[in-house]
Structure 1
């Protein structure tokens, strides 16, 4: 089948594109190569997917473009069976400095995808949302009925995008699913995230830097689990119209995370602390029972297992990946 992955040169989109190609599908990727982080990482993601196409019966096509380009999006969507909409302006902290950019990409770009799909009779649109929509917890773990009161412009933009996704299913009958990801990590992850920064600093004998007290907790989700959840939606229509959490088996404090990585790599180092950004969520933890009931989702990696795998991958790929992390 034919699949469009928006933001398909990014971290999650790149893994989805590679996976779908390896499964023998015809994949089209659109990405604008925004220099929010080093674009060499996106270029590497593209090369990995192209190599996968050479090794399998799947095909891969890259289109450099922007989901804010309505005509381009329409042309791409009308030729595919499924859309996995991963394109977004990420970054809670950067959204505080420039709230209009995430709004234009995460809201208007999503509307372009939904409008195009509504006019073409597509099989399904799967939209990436975020745990940032929840904001301050009234209880944990978050289930999908928890109030959504985001504390950053990024969270607001993702909430608007997922709600448009739900409404397009209700009003127009467009098959849609929105997946609320909880802090995704793993090989080829964005270089400006806590886990990659902690690992990079420790392997270079530099202390990991924690922002705030470190008592904040996070539900980190391994990339393989994200890919499996999306892949299930190629065949399973039981979640159409739904919004679902996709998280892990547990959560961990940032202090514990930094200590776990430090102890594996450089136990002699002390942990340093810096000022915390107020737009960062205090705690996240996913209740994934809805995704389990609807699509059989189960996380396969605890945070400690996933971190160990990422450290092994980092060390095996240090020659090309580390410079990108250090430059971020």
Structure 2
């Protein structure tokens, strides 16, 4: 199968493309390198991979690339850590709507005129930002109040793009919602605002790399946002890539939506203490709470039964194993000045 992946230089796409190539798929990736600049990937010279520098908002280019593809995975988006939700509230909505519309325009054309079979839309757990039902089932996004953040609202909009494209043009789709992807490969974004967290300057605003680098830099007490009681489901990037690939390959995913996540709930405080012990051993764990950001959702607990029952997918990598891969990678990136 030949698959077009937008936002191919991004964090999640890196895991996905590697997985698709290992499974024998041919992949075309498009990215404008606006977030990190050019990043060399391990698979850049793979015979099954073609990298294109370009903008997903360019409909003509998108049509050219999608013309002989079987499926597309719409990953490209302006995305960042929690500071992004505040610093780029308008841009997250406007820019991502332009990317989404362009991608769907090309996909609708390719489905009608060429051989495209389906669009796979990477949504977000943030569509459930306003829910009070846990574990949160697929479909809850249609019942709960809309997301409060512009980012969450735009991700919900992506899902309505899929709904509309099917209703009007019969373009098949799969909606994919990752929950708190954790792994290696994410670096300092070029336009990420630097903030101070205690005595450490951060430019990521993703909880795992931020906590790791603060502890590696000797921060004591450790500064965390809010009480630390925020609940998350930290999902390994390799597991998430497998789940997305299964959505691409399995016909049961057509015109369906899936939460892709580990089933294990972890509080930020539990995460922080786990990282602390891996780096500092038996040194007493001390922390202090900083004022949280407005859109720091307090609880995310997805239902994962649908993906398991329909697709046979389960995220099986535990958080401790994931951290054993992530911590030394971040340590090396700090030395290189990339984080």
What is the TM-score normalised by the length of structure 1? Answer: 0.88
| Partner residue in 2 for 1:260 | 274
Match of 2:53 among 36, 44, 64: 64
| Partner residue in 1 for 2:152 | 155
Equivalent residues in 2 for 1:152-191 (5 A)? 152-190=149-187
CA–CA distance in structure 2, aligned partners of residues 32 and 62 of structure 1: 11
CA–CA distance in structure 2, aligned partners of residues 235 and 158 of structure 1: 23
Q: What CA deviation, in whole Å up to 9, does each residue of 1:4-54 have, x standing for no partner?
A: 11000010112212222233332211111123xx43xx503xx31214x1x
SS in 2 for 1:286: coil
SS in 2 for 1:197: helix
SS in 1 for 2:249: coil
Q: CA RMSD in A?
A: 2.1
CA–CA distance in structure 1, aligned partners of residues 335 and 9 of structure 2: 15
Deviation at 1:319, TM superposition (A): 5.3
Deviation at 1:255, TM superposition (A): 0.9
Tell me which moved more, 218-227 or 229-238: 229-238
For the Cα contact (< 8 Å) 2:187–2:338, is it kept in 1? no
Q: Are 2:116 and 1:102 equivalent residues in the alignment?
A: no
| Partner residue in 2 for 1:206 | 219
Aligned residues: 312
Deviation at 1:321, TM superposition (A): 7.3
Deviation at 1:320, TM superposition (A): 7.2
For the Cα contact (< 8 Å) 1:217–1:283, is it kept in 2? yes
CA–CA distance in structure 2, aligned partners of residues 2 and 321 of structure 1: 38
| Partner residue in 1 for 2:196 | none
Equivalent residues in 2 for 1:90-129 (5 A)? 90-91=79-80, 92-121=82-111, 122-129=116-123
Tell me which moved more, 151-160 or 261-270: 261-270
For the Cα contact (< 8 Å) 1:130–1:155, is it kept in 2? yes
SS in 2 for 1:151: coil
CA–CA distance in structure 2, aligned partners of residues 106 and 221 of structure 1: 24
| Partner residue in 2 for 1:145 | 139
CA–CA distance in structure 2, aligned partners of residues 85 and 255 of structure 1: 33
Q: Are 2:234 and 1:220 equivalent residues in the alignment?
A: yes
SS in 2 for 1:177: strand
Equivalent residues in 2 for 1:1-328 (5 A)? 1-35=1-35, 38-39=36-37, 43-44=39-40, 47-51=41-45, 53=46, 58-91=47-80, 92-121=82-111, 122-146=116-140, 147=144, 149-190=146-187, 192=204, 193-207=206-220, 208-267=222-281, 268=283, 270-314=286-330, 318=332, 323-325=337-339
Taking a change above 3 Å as real, the CA distance of residues 197 and 98 of structure 1, as seen in their structure-2 partners, is: closer
For the Cα contact (< 8 Å) 2:19–2:242, is it kept in 1? no
For the Cα contact (< 8 Å) 1:210–1:272, is it kept in 2? yes
Q: What CA deviation, in whole Å up to 9, does each residue of 1:42-90 have, x standing for no partner?
A: 503xx31214x1xxxx422221222222222222222311111111111
Deviation at 1:232, TM superposition (A): 1.2
Taking a change above 3 Å as real, the CA distance of residues 132 and 321 of structure 1, as seen in their structure-2 partners, is: farther
CA–CA distance in structure 1, aligned partners of residues 145 and 77 of structure 2: 19
Gaps of 5+ in 1: none
Deviation at 1:305, TM superposition (A): 3.2
